[in-house]
Amino acid sequence: METKHAYLLSGSAGHSLSPVMHNAAFGELGLDARYEALSVTQDELPEVVARLREGNVYGANVTIPHKLAVIPLIDNLTPEAQSVGAVNTILNRGGELTGHNTDLTGFLRALREDSGYDPESRDVVMLGAGGSARAVGLALLRVGATLGIANRTQSRAEALARSLERYGHVAAIRPFDLGRAVQRASLLVNTTSAGHETHGAGQLPLPHGFLPREMVVDIIYRPVKTPLLVAAEAAGLRTQNGLPMLVYQGAEAFERWTGQPAPIEVMFRALRGAL
């Protein structure tokens, strides 16, 4: 039987942990399959996506900068992908490609199953207004959270808030209101690169001392503890990094490709061993 393949389509795939996670899962279930991370330029993208239609390919994960660019190259979008306006998973079924977005459920499962925290009806402040922020914000609004969005460029926060208005109570936070909004919130979520080991090492995404009442989530997983999470722990707050979200969004993709339950604990163990 022919080996099946899945891929990560990225602008720079060298540091991705997705192959570690997915290949561990394939091995655990005894599947003859391999996951490979590909660095793909915009010019190469159409040809690479076309190859996903081949019979020995499950599909692909998609990350920066291709989450929007793949949309005109595939055949269908799920309602989640349509709502987010971005694709992070492609499923191949008989040569037909469907775009999914598993970041929404991945974020919520991480909060609820890994941390035992339910954001329903909570006041939440989200830092950032990029692609990940849209998925996280939509997930929070769908479960009834009240969302405030803060971004270094105020116009981007306002634009994202307007685009999410139909889903619930959301507003952009003005810079001079940020401290008060964060301290009033139950949950703070950072979706920016501040604190990332290569893109924002040592940085805090907001002024020191601005912390919520209950929990801080930083979707970065390198380093395991960002400066924001260190500060939150020192203040006695619950914290979560981006590793659980990575696992749960990857697990949903795995299950869509293979039709089998993802071995969650194996995926966690493989990632923790690689960090």
pLDDT tens for each residue of 245-267: 999 999 999 999 999 999 999 99
Confidence label for 103 from pLDDT (cuts 50, 70 and 90): very high
pLDDT at 236: 98
Summarize the annotated binding site for shikimate as residue ranges.
16-18, 63, 88, 103, 221, 249
Spot the catalytic one: 4, 22, 66, 67: 67
What is the rounded distance in angstroms from the CA atom of residue 206 to the CA atom of residue 151? Answer: 10
Q: Does 225 qualify as catalytic in the annotation? A: no
Give long-range contacts, CB 8 A cutoff, 24+ apart: 172-180: 172/148, 173/125, 173/148, 173/149, 175/150, 178/125, 178/150, 178/206, 178/207, 178/210, 179/207, 179/210
Summarize the annotated binding site as residue ranges.
16-18, 63, 88, 103, 128-132, 151-156, 219, 221, 242, 249
Summarize the annotated binding site for NADP(+) as residue ranges.
128-132, 151-156, 219, 242
Q: How many residues does the chain have?
A: 275
Q: What tokens does 154 get?
A: 């105020």
Mode of pairing for the β-strands spanning 33-39 and 4-10 = parallel
pLDDT at 204: 87
CATH topology assigned to domain 104-241: Rossmann fold (3.40.50)
Contacts of 63 (CB under 8 A, 6+ apart): 8, 9, 10, 11, 16, 88
Superfamily, domain 4-101+244-274:
Leucine Dehydrogenase, chain A, domain 1 (3.40.50.10860)
User: pLDDT, tens digit, for every residue of 71-99?
Assistant: 999 999 999 999 999 999 999 999 999 99
Average predicted confidence (pLDDT) for the chain:
95
Contact between residue 72 and residue 64 where contact means Cβ atoms under 8 Å apart: no
Same CATH topology for 4-101+244-274 and 104-241? yes
* pTM of the entire predicted model: 0.94
pLDDT at 200: 64
Instruction: Provide the angle, in degrees to the nearest 10, between the axes of the packed helices 18-28 and 264-274.
Output: 140
* Domains in the chain: boundaries: 4-101+244-274, 104-241
What is the rounded distance in angstroms from the CA atom of residue 117 to the CA atom of residue 120? Answer: 9
**Tokens 């493989």 found at:** 270
Confidence label for 15 from pLDDT (cuts 50, 70 and 90): confident
pLDDT at 130: 85
